[in-house]
Amino acid sequence: MANESFELTNELIEQIIFAMENQKEKFFLDPAIPSIISRTAEGTGNRISPLYDLPDWEPSDGYRLMEQFVLNLRNPVYREHLSSILHCGSGVFRKFKDALNQRPDIERKWFSFKEQNMKQRVLDWYNVLRLEWGLDLWEEDFNGEYSPVLTDFSINICRAEQVSLINELDREAFHEIYDTYPEDYISDLFRRCRDGFEPEVSDESRIFLAESPDGEIVGFVWITAEILEKGTVLGRIRQIYVVPEYRGLGLGEKLKEKALDDSMLAGCSFLEIDIPAGADFIKNNLNQYGFKKNSTMMVLDKLAD
């Protein structure tokens, strides 16, 4: 029986992937059409041209793909949540799907990741056939990464009615940084750091919000500017915060870039930002913008063991 080649179109790839995931029936590729047909299709036993088996795809392959996705997920909260689902022992696929339904941004990232990997599996299978046909390998780039930050989230100026929530998030951010210290010490440190000045919307205080498609505030950056005694204009990035469930998507970087590009900070002579202890990644990131170390506060924790 002679081999019969076919062209791998995007439409055909989608048909193949759909059939691969169908665990209830056996499918083949008919190169004469070309199209996918089932085992029960009429005339599959009396053919001159061959029918090709599709790439192998078992539930174990889907499970390993989920493991790989979770392992590389940069959101620490959802990485742990999805990892616990993968090791729950029963109903893994349904629970995994339900968990992703709660976070459309991560769900879309999963769909993109899954599609790229399954397309690559089809391409590898197709190239094995092309080698049998004596043809050159077929190349395609399936590595275009879906970016939920650019497509699913927006950076907007804070409205007056949203300031109360930002005040709450500002306090949460501060307490998260110093959560190993006693509550009264954290409160006193927060009071001294803020010096009675809370996030607000004014000519000297600006807040940009990261908002999800449904309008949920998932992060913010708060900047201020003031004219000093002899006319020097001092700008401050007072807070950058992303709620834990939405970290690892690049929202913090987008908020910081938005703040640095803002006209209020662009007109300042100096820019300041406080770096929490242990946040060397922030310091290293700011170095590329020309920020330099200015001071260090050191604390002796006499309550520590």
Looking at the structure, tell me whether residues 37 and 166 fall in a common domain: no
- From 218, 202, 198, select the one nearest 210 (Cα to Cα): 218
Of 113, 145, 177, the one marking the end of a domain is 145
User: Contact at 8 Å (CB) between 217 and 209?
Assistant: yes
Looking at the structure, tell me whether residues 101 and 35 fall in a common domain: yes
For residue 276, being part of any structural domain is answered with yes
**Which pLDDT score, from 0 to 100, does residue 1 have?**
41
Looking at the structure, tell me whether residues 160 and 109 fall in a common domain: no
For residue 280, being part of any structural domain is answered with yes
| Rounded Cα–Cα distance for residues 102 and 212 (Å) | 13
Q: Does the predicted TM-score (pTM) go above 0.75?
A: no
Kindly give the parts of the chain with pLDDT less than 70.
1-3, 41-49, 141-151, 277-281, 283-284, 305
Peptide bond before residue 76 is cis, with ω within 30 degrees of 0: no
Number of domains in the chain: 2
Q: Cα–Cα distances in Å, from 2 out to 29, 31, 45, 123?
A: 15, 12, 16, 22
Question: Tokens 């009071």 map to which residue?
Answer: 191
Of 120, 145, 170, the one marking the end of a domain is 145
Which tens digit of pLDDT belongs to each residue from 20-47? Answer: 998 888 899 999 888 999 877 655 555 6
Residue 258: both structure tokens together: 């938005």
**C-alpha angle 212/214/218, rounded to 5°?**
30
The tally of CA atoms less than 13 A away on the side-chain side of residue 50 is: 11
Of 79, 110, 145, the one marking the end of a domain is 145
Looking at the structure, tell me whether residues 103 and 230 fall in a common domain: no
- From 218, 251, 246, select the one nearest 79 (Cα to Cα): 246
Which tens digit of pLDDT belongs to each residue from 205-261? Answer: 999 999 987 788 999 999 999 999 888 999 999 999 999 888 877 888 889 889 988
The domain in which residue 175 lies consists of 151-287
